Structures are given as structure tokens and as C-alpha cells.
């Protein structure tokens, strides 16, 4: 019997799917404290999180039975991937399940910012009526700069092309064909995109390379009156730099659904009426929640049962035929790992695994990881 800890919210239908599984015992502890999860994580084979629970070395060191972490969502910056891999723990996310919702909230923030919708709403509800102070700008024929042309960025390009916008994109990791397919002019550098865009939206993961992509040093390269949108990950645009831009008028507006610290009650940007904030609700639609929950549960169950984890972020992709060849060795590797740990007296700093026969011709990273876990 596998034990699964659900530490953050997932859809009720997904929970029901877990509970129906005869080989799984489920504990739902939404909002669990850091102290409690550290005290009990050793009991569980799987953990399901969203973006709040930090899966770091401290937690992984205590998670002696943990086989898989399911991230209900796309970003994994709250999970230490190298550390999870070193512990033999699979990390799986749900990259396709909330693409539409994430794209749509970015569009919503863009339109709300350009047309002063939030300020106008608050104004009229205060008992006043005046139109002239809420003059906005159209999106039509404006240049939209898209940083990151992956799943969400590509969908954004298709949607905003229909608005009659000119598209320019920066993504050094994709082919020219993707730019062409999405109708985007390719920016060779980030600076080129900053200098040419009337509106900028970002759709990248949070990494050392993407952190603070707009900052105090390149703020001056933005067009005067540029509008910024971040519905990807907190910290991709430096908040102090954005605040300075809003104050000076360099930045006309900033719409953001993600924050450097979550949850939060204070932010330097809250004082600006033209900075529209939402509490990371990009994936909070009925459709996305259902899709996210269903997918994360499927990946977790597959991982526990030794089946293909299609969305594993720390394992190579492997086809079904190859997996059927590798699967018996996964179970064997875990058992051998446990035996080795019990008989070896000295501290284990590295493991060498030699493969012979048919298995030697296959991708063995999953077997390696399972041996380490054992």
C-alpha cells in the first residue's frame, strides 16, 4: 500500500480518483505547516504540491520512502530538482494542463492595464462618474514583445495576432521555424525586444538566466510608456526596477499575477494604481484545475506503480516499448540498492552501475535513479 500526501489544493475529482485506487492510502493536508510536513514526510511514498511547499534538501533528507513529487502546475522553482534526483525522487509537473488559463490571464492583465479597467471600476463604485481621466490605448497595431516562445508564449502569439498586433519574440532556445510558425519576428537579443516593444509579456520558467530579466541596468532601454505583464513566475521582472519605472512614467502599467514571495501582504508595487496585481490565479479556472488535478494524479500513480511518468522533469523521455524492456530492471535496481546500503559499512559517496545485454542498449537513467533511491 502506497501512502500519498496531498499538501496543497487539487481538484476534488482528482482526490476522488486517488481514493478509488486500491493500492493507495491518501492523506489530504492542505495548508500543512513546514514543521508538520518535516515531521511526517518520512511516512509517505508520494507528495503532491503546488507552489508554496518547498521541496528542498532538508525535506528530501527526511523523506526516506519518497518515490515521486507531483507538482500540480508547470513551474518547479519550489522544488530542488538536482537534490530530488540525487535522492532518487522523480519530479513530475503538469505542463499542458493550464496553458490556456495562464495565457488568458496574461491577456486579461494586458487589456485591463491598457484600458484602465480596475481604476475605472473602483472610481465608479465610489459614486463618481468621469470618462476623460481613463483614456487608455488600443492593442491594435501595437508591437507585442513575447519573452519565451514555448507552449504559453506560442499560444499568446496566436491569440494576440487576432488582435492585429505586431509580434516580436525572444527565445534563444528554439528554432527559427517556431518563430515563423507563430508569426513572430525573431529578436536576436533581449535588448532588441525591449527597444522595439510597446507591450512586453514574459512566459519563461524561473532560472538563474531569467531572474530579473528587466532590471535597473536595462530599464532605460524600454520604450517610453511601455506596458509590462508577468503571469509566469515571480521575480522575472525586478520589482524595484519596475517600481522606479512606474514612478518615472517610463513604464505605463504593470499587470502581474505572480510575486517574488508568495503569499504576501506587502509589496513596493501596491502603492501604484497602474500596477494591477492578482494572487497567482493564472491556473485558477474550473477547466485548468480539473486538468491539473487529473494529470498530476495520473503521473503520481504511474510513478508509484513503476509505469511511465510522461511529464517527469528529471528523467529523460522514454517510449512505451523501451519502458517495457527497462521496467524489470527498475524493480531490481531498487532492491539491489537497499541490499548494498545494508551491507556497506563505509559512507556511500558514489555508485557505479554496469549494464550488459539488452538493457545496455536502453536509456538507463530511470534505473540509475531507482538504485540510488533504494
Q: Which of 141, 262, 271, 310 is catalytic?
A: 262
- Specify whether 322 is catalytic: no
Contacts of 175 (CB under 8 A, 6+ apart): none
What does the alpha-carbon distance between residue 38 and residue 58 come to, in Å, rounded to a whole number?
8
What does the alpha-carbon distance between residue 37 and residue 363 come to, in Å, rounded to a whole number?
34
Report the candidate in 60, 229, 231 with the shortest Cα–Cα distance to residue 49: 60
User: What are the Cα distances from residue 107, in Å, to 190, 278, 332?
Assistant: 21, 13, 50
- Specify whether 181 is catalytic: no
CA angle 205, 211, 213 (to 5 degrees): 105
| Cα end-to-end distance, the chain, whole Å | 17
DSSP 8-class letter at 309:
-
What does the alpha-carbon distance between residue 10 and residue 271 come to, in Å, rounded to a whole number?
33
Q: Which of 83, 280, 298, 334 is catalytic?
A: 280
- Specify whether 262 is catalytic: yes
Q: Which of 50, 203, 233, 259 is catalytic?
A: 233
State the angle between helix axes of 320-343 and 365-373 in degrees (0 to 180), rounded to the nearest 10: 30
The catalytic residue positions are 233, 262, 280
Amino acid at each position: 500500500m502506497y501512502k500519498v500526501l496531498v499538501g496543497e489544493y487539487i481538484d476534488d475529482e482528482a482526490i476522488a480518483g486517488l481514493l478509488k485506487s486500491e493500492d493507495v492510502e491518501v492523506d489530504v493536508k492542505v495548508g500543512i505547516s513546514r514543521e508538520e510536513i518535516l515531521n511526517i514526510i518520512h511516512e509517505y511514498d508520494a507528495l503532491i504540491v503546488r507552489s508554496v511547499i518547498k521541496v528542498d534538501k532538508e525535506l528530501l533528507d527526511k523523506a526516506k520512502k519518497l518515490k515521486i513529487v507531483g507538482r500540480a502546475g508547470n513551474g518547479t522553482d519550489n522544488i530542488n530538482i538536482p537534490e530530488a534526483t540525487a535522492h532518487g525522487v522523480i519530479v513530475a509537473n503538469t505542463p499542458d494542463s493550464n496553458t490556456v488559463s495562464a495565457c488568458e490571464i496574461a491577456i486579461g492583465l494586458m487589456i485591463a492595464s491598457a484600458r484602465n479597467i480596475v481604476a475605472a471600476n473602483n472610481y465608479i463604485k465610489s459614486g463618481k462618474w468621469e470618462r476623460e481621466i481613463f483614456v487608455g490605448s488600443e492593442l491594435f497595431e501595437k508591437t507585442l514583445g513575447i519573452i519565451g516562445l514555448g507552449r504559453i508564449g506560442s499560444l499568446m502569439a496566436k491569440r494576440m495576432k487576432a488582435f492585429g498586433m505586431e509580434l516580436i519574440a525572444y527565445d534563444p532556445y528554439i528554432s527559427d521555424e517556431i518563430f515563423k510558425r507563430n508569426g513572430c519576428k525573431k529578436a536576436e537579443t533581449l535588448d532588441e525586444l525591449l527597444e522595439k516593444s510597446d507591450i512586453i509579456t514574459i512566459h519563461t520558467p524561473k532560472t538563474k538566466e531569467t531572474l530579473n530579466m528587466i532590471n535597473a541596468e536595462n530599464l532605460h532601454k524600454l520604450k517610453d510608456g511601455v506596458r509590462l505583464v508577468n503571469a509566469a513566475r515571480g521575480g522575472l521582472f525586478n520589482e524595484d526596477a519596475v517600481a522606479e519605472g512606474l514612478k518615472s512614467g517610463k513604464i505605463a502599467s504593470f499587470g502581474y499575477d505572480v510575486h517574488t514571495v508568495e503569499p504576501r501582504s506587502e509589496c513596493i508595487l501596491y502603492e501604484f494604481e497602474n500596477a494591477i496585481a492578482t494572487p497567482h490565479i493564472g491556473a485558477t479556472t474550473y477547466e485548468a484545475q480539473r486538468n491539473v488535478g487529473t494529470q498530476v494524479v495520473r503521473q503520481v500513480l504511474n510513478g508509484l506503480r513503476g509505469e511511465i511518468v510522461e511529464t517527469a522533469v528529471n528523467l529523460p523521455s522514454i517510449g512505451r516499448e523501451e519502458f517495457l524492456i527497462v521496467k524489470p530492471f527498475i524493480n531490481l535496481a531498487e532492491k539491489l540498492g537497499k541490499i548494498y546500503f545494508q551491507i556497506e559499512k563505509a559512507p556511500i559517496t558514489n555508485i557505479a552501475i554496469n549494464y550488459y545485454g539488452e538493457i545496455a542498449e536502453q536509456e538507463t537513467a530511470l534505473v540509475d535513479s531507482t538504485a540510488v533511491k533504494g
